[in-house]
Amino acid sequence: MNPVNYLYLSALLFTIGAAGVLIRRNAIVVFMCVELMLNACNLAFVVFSRMHGNLDGQIIAFFTMVVAAAEVVVGLAIIVSLFRSRHSASVDDASLMKL
């Protein structure tokens, strides 16, 4: 098997995550789909690191993980405060700024 297959898997996972962001309306599930996309990117970085024979790709994947952790903390805090004020986690309900 050629290691390129890992890249195809990563593209597939990224696509599924992107479609999930478009389809789902529960804010938590949308957020999980974003995490799935980040993970797919990480897999691609790791495979590219193997391809080029240096560790830079793994460093980038590591930074992605750290940024994802920070993003999850703030995002979930936003979802919790949104749920407190509206009693719903649906992204459709937060349409106060719509014309």
Partner 1 sequence: MQLAVSATQTSTGEAFQFWVLGTVAVIGALCTVLMKKAVHSALCLAGTMIILAVFYLANGAYFLGIVQVVVYTGAIMMLFLFVVMLVGVTAADSLKETIKGQRVWAAVCGIGFGVLLVAGIANANLKHFDGLKQANAGGNVEGLAALIFTKYVFAFEITGALLITSAIGAMVLTHRERTERAKTQRELSEQRVSDGKHLPPLPAPGVYARHNAVDIAGLLPDGTPSELTVNQTLRGRGQIRDVSSEALSDLKALEQRSTERLGREEEAAK
What is the closest distance, in whole angstroms, from the C-beta atom of residue 72 to partner 1 in the complex? Answer: 5
* Residue 96 in the binding site for partner 1 (CB under 8 A): no
Q: State the DSSP H helix or E strand holding residue 64, giving kind and residue range, or none if neither.
A: helix 56-86
Indicate the residue type of 97: M
Amino acid identity of residue 58, one-letter, is Q
Q: How far apart are CA 84 and CA 71, in angstroms?
A: 20
Which residues from 28-87 bind partner 1, rule CB under 8 A? 28-29, 31-33, 35-36, 39, 42-43, 46-47, 49-56, 58-59, 61-63, 65-74, 76-81, 83-84
Minimum distance of partner 1 from residue 97's CB (angstroms)? 17
Ramachandran region of residue 26, left (φ > 0), alpha (ψ -120 to 50) or beta?
beta
For residue 92, state whether it binds partner 1 (rule: CB under 8 A). Answer: yes
